Amino acid sequence: MSLTPYRIQSIGLTDTHLLLTLANGHVLSEPITRYIRLEKATPAQREQWQSVDDGFGVVWPALLAPSAQGMLNVLDLLWDQRYEQAMAALAAAEWKLDRLPLANQELVALWRMEADINNGGFMQFLCNWGDPTCQLALQALRKVGATNMLAVLSRMRALIDRFEALPEVVALNDIYGAMTDAEQEEMESLDHAFWDYPDVLSRLGLQYYGVKIAP
């Protein structure tokens, strides 16, 4: 789907919130407290914003050196909403993932992937949620076209293949300790490759799964 309707048209500021008016007329409200530099800025500095990333991102050059994606990016905000909606559906389904439609299952898997790998690496993700969730995440990355991140996660998963038949590995938590030094080093390197975000997952995910702006 086209994301053009979600470009930032204008920005308004109150004492407490940043108001993003999108090209389609929707207004997203973000607490200024989520952005420490913006919270501490003067009113004049807050007004000195510039658009980046083809209208999806915003920078405040007086507060932080401009980046390609921006200090704030509406695609990230909308992607977070999609995650929140999928997790709310999971809670309503009594945390039974297989009760959800496939799209929501995949969104939950991607959320768990991002949350856990960014927090503690691939082994934390795998041990917390198991291989079925890992396979759902791989499937979702393939569908959205996140080819680089798919390659990283696929290699992470491939590193544990040989442990499935080892008698000393009776639980997923045993795998890391059973790895060779070289395998542990490669896993750490892959974690870092994931943290570099070789694909813009928010953009690809929204293009595939669509945008659902919360009321």
Give me the pLDDT at residue 170, please.
55
Instruction: Indicate the pTM of the whole model.
Output: 0.91
**What is residue 80's predicted lDDT score, i.e. its pLDDT?**
96
Mean pLDDT of the region 16-28: 94
- The mean pLDDT value for 187-197 works out to 97
Can you list the pairs that 206-211 forms with residues at least 24 positions away whose Cβ atoms lie under 8 Å?
206/1, 206/3, 206/6, 206/75, 206/78, 206/79, 206/82, 207/1, 207/3, 207/144, 208/143, 208/144, 208/145, 209/82, 209/103, 209/106, 209/107, 209/144, 210/1, 211/1, 211/3, 211/6, 211/78, 211/82
Residue 165 has pLDDT above 60, yes or no: yes
Mean pLDDT over residues 73-89, rounded?
A: 97
C-alpha–C-alpha distance, residues 140 and 177, integer Å: 29
**Going from the N-terminus, what domains does the chain have, and what CATH number goes with each?**
4-70 (3.30.2020.40), 76-209 (1.20.1420)
pLDDT recorded at residue 143? 98
Average pLDDT (158-176) is 77
Task: Give the CA angle between residues 76, 207, 149 to the nearest 5°.
Answer: 70
User: Average pLDDT, stretch 160-189?
Assistant: 83
Q: Which residues pair with 17 in a beta bridge?
A: 31
What number is the average pLDDT over the span 116-129?
Answer: 95
Q: What is the pLDDT of residues 25-76, one digit of tens each?
A: 999 999 999 999 988 888 888 889 999 999 999 999 989 888 899 999 999 9
Binned at pLDDT 50, 70 and 90, residue 166 comes out as low
